[in-house]
Chains A and B, each alone.
Chain A
Amino acid sequence: MRDKSANRPPLHEPDLALHVEDLTVTYGERPALWDIDLDIPPGVLAGIIGPNGAGKSTLIRAILDLVRRSAGHVRLFGHPYRAQRLRVGYVPQRSSVDWEFPTSALDVVTMGLYGELGWWRRPGRSERDRALRALEQVGLEGLADRQISELSGGQQQRVFIARALVQQADIYFLDEPMAGVDATTERAIINLLRELRDAGRTAIVVHHDLQTVRSYFDWLILMNRRVIAQGPVEHVYTADNLRRTYGGQVALLDTGHDPAAL
């Protein structure tokens, strides 16, 4: 699990938190992602928006080497992902785990430190304290010893987030963190992401709710298997771009009015 960075390739676009070029991913015979070019500067709270089937989750998974790339390359702060896994935190969609596994919330968060500990070292007191602090950040310190099967949906989501936070990564990828959580949890999550951004970290969030995009994010990427538009949210969130992204599905926006009025 340790990075073997003895033979690093030369730095490529080190000033960007995320640089993606020509990324293509194929499922079966059709491309799920085609010719993706992305440049995200550090210290922003970025949202990735698009209709169902747009490949948003696939994009995150391709960046993290969970899915094979047919073409293109990815650099994080100038380096390939494999060279610096510990600088990257990942919060997947909740469904990827069996919640009947015998473990407590604290234990799940501690597992976030396994990458740092390597294959042999066992987690000790300092790891336990860091995990507790991460649980405090998401407001779950009272549930540290609770079995995960007894947690509510919003609490489970926050445990996943704490697991990523405990790494103190420089860049976080979150795949639909607000899906299926209540309003209080959603507010807590977005406040947490804002704190990360204010501390200079970068957060990239796949989001599903158009209504909240403008208030949540500073940076926006609109995609539908290709990138339609990307940049600061005020420039990108326009009726024209939304129409091109959602095709016929957002015909209601074709009013010529300011989208903020909707």
Chain B
Amino acid sequence: MIPLLSDPTLHTVALGTALLGVMSGVLGSFAVLRRESLLGDTLSHAALPGVCLGFMVTGARSLTGLMAGALVTAMLAAFAMVFLVRYTRLKTDAALGIALGLFFALGVVLLTHIQATGGAAQAGLDAFLFGQAAALSRADLLPMSSVGLVAVGLVVLLWKPLKLLTFDPEYAAVIGLPVRSLELLITLLVALTVVVGLQLVGVVLMTAMVIAPAAAARQWCCSLHGMVILAALLGATAGVLGGGLSALIPGLSTGPVIVLVASVIALGSLFFAPRRGLIPAWWRQGHRLSRTSSDRVLETVYQLACEHGSGRYRVEEGAVDAYHGIATAAILVSLRERGLLEAVDHMPDEGRHWRLTNEGMSYAAARAGRPDEAIGV
């Protein structure tokens, strides 16, 4: 184990994937909150032709050249999307789809062309589809971390304008913020994140890295800065764990492993986060159920019968559920077993109805303090 921990390749991978995780978490938070999650998808797929063009221009697999090309085509796709939305009747989702298809298809054509005609230098270019952490070199870390530092630094610097723009773009415009420029900046920063992640996670799955850490963090946090910080931590965790795993086990593509870890974190958060998670919500429901006494449910049926002036009044189960905020079927059945309620049918398009029996009527009336009053029949 110790030799593995001091393995320089692992260090490089861990640093690179941690950096990627932090950037994804930070920028992904803004993309997700602005409901532009799929923008990351289009940008990453559109980076592929740029990587190929960068290779064709520089003739070698130098990361800076490839990243530059990737950034150019990703931003072109973003502009294409904006152009389509502004000047045609297309909505954002269709415009994103068109840009994605166009650019990615172009990228695959270029990639297969290079693979058919290129020499040894092109080997490993297809690693950009799904990521290959092992191909990351020490020298690659420098351009990656500079870009990362600039991106996260800009977010910290422009925190207030970005927060306001994300929450209420119209109010931001009223205050005098340059909304269009800030939106362009966010798009550019997401594109930079995608470009940094290309080699590690690949174009196909990078979108998940933009979305998953932010979606997970949202479940735990009630403030924007909390969410962004947690998303960065969760992204880094997924990156290091996934990257490390894929480096240790030969033959595994890095991208899918990192994304698997990130998705597990996201799903776990959706299910288990205390305030917003599904499991705690179910537990709270069950808790409320056990605290709702059967006497109170009987009282509800009784009150409704009184208000409708008839002891034979049929109460639909859904109405009792709504009043108590829980599913009361079990309680109603137990009341039937005690002989206090009986189940009846009413309209065919409605649910089960319940009605007081004579014993139920006397019992409920006694509890309500009116034993001698008989409700009309």
Interface-located stretch among A97-105, A136-144, A176-184, A254-262: A97-105
Q: Give chain B nearest CB distance to A82 CB in angstroms.
A: 7
Say yes or no: is A115 at the interface (Cβ < 8 Å to chain B): yes
Residues of B contacting A103 in the complex (Cβ-Cβ under 8 angstroms): 167, 222-224
Contact string against B for A residues 56-96, beta-carbon threshold 8 Å, 1 for contact and 0 otherwise: 00000000111000000000000000100100101010001
- Interface secondary structure of B, over-half rule: helix
Asked if B222 and A104 make an inter-chain contact with CB atoms under 8 angstroms apart, the answer reads: yes
Say yes or no: is B166 at the interface (Cβ < 8 Å to chain A): yes
Q: How far is the CA of A139 from the CA of B223 in the complex (A)?
A: 23
Asked whether A102 and B226 contact (CB < 8 A) given A111-B164, A117-B160, the answer is yes
Q: How far is the CA of A97 from the CA of B174 in the complex (A)?
A: 14
Residues of A contacting B248 in the complex (Cβ-Cβ under 8 angstroms): none
Asked if A102 and B168 make an inter-chain contact with CB atoms under 8 angstroms apart, the answer reads: no
Q: Name, among A64, A103, A163, the residue most crowded by chain B CB atoms within 10 Å (CB to CB).
A: A103
Interface size of A as a range = 20 to 34
Residues of B contacting A246 in the complex (Cβ-Cβ under 8 angstroms): none
Q: How far is the CA of A163 from the CA of B167 in the complex (A)?
A: 13
Q: How far is the CA of A138 from the CA of B227 in the complex (A)?
A: 29
Asked whether A92 and B171 contact (CB < 8 A) given A102-B224, A119-B161, the answer is yes
Asked whether A101 and B158 contact (CB < 8 A) given A85-B174, A90-B174, A107-B223, the answer is no
Asked if B35 and A102 make an inter-chain contact with CB atoms under 8 angstroms apart, the answer reads: no
Residues of A contacting B147 in the complex (Cβ-Cβ under 8 angstroms): none
Residues of B contacting A107 in the complex (Cβ-Cβ under 8 angstroms): 223
Say yes or no: is B348 at the interface (Cβ < 8 Å to chain A): no
Say yes or no: is A216 at the interface (Cβ < 8 Å to chain B): no
Q: Give chain B nearest CB distance to A151 CB in angstroms.
A: 13
Asked whether A64 and B174 contact (CB < 8 A) given A98-B33, A98-B35, A103-B223, the answer is yes
Q: Which residues of B contact A (CB under 8 A)?
A: 33, 35, 158, 160-161, 163-164, 166-168, 170-171, 173-177, 218, 221-224, 226-227
The 6 closest A-B pairs by CB, nearest first: A115-B175, A1-B176, A96-B170, A97-B168, A90-B174, A101-B167
Q: Which residues of A contact B (CB under 8 A)?
A: 1, 3, 64-66, 82, 85, 88, 90, 92, 96-98, 101-104, 107-108, 111, 114-115, 117, 119, 122, 147, 163
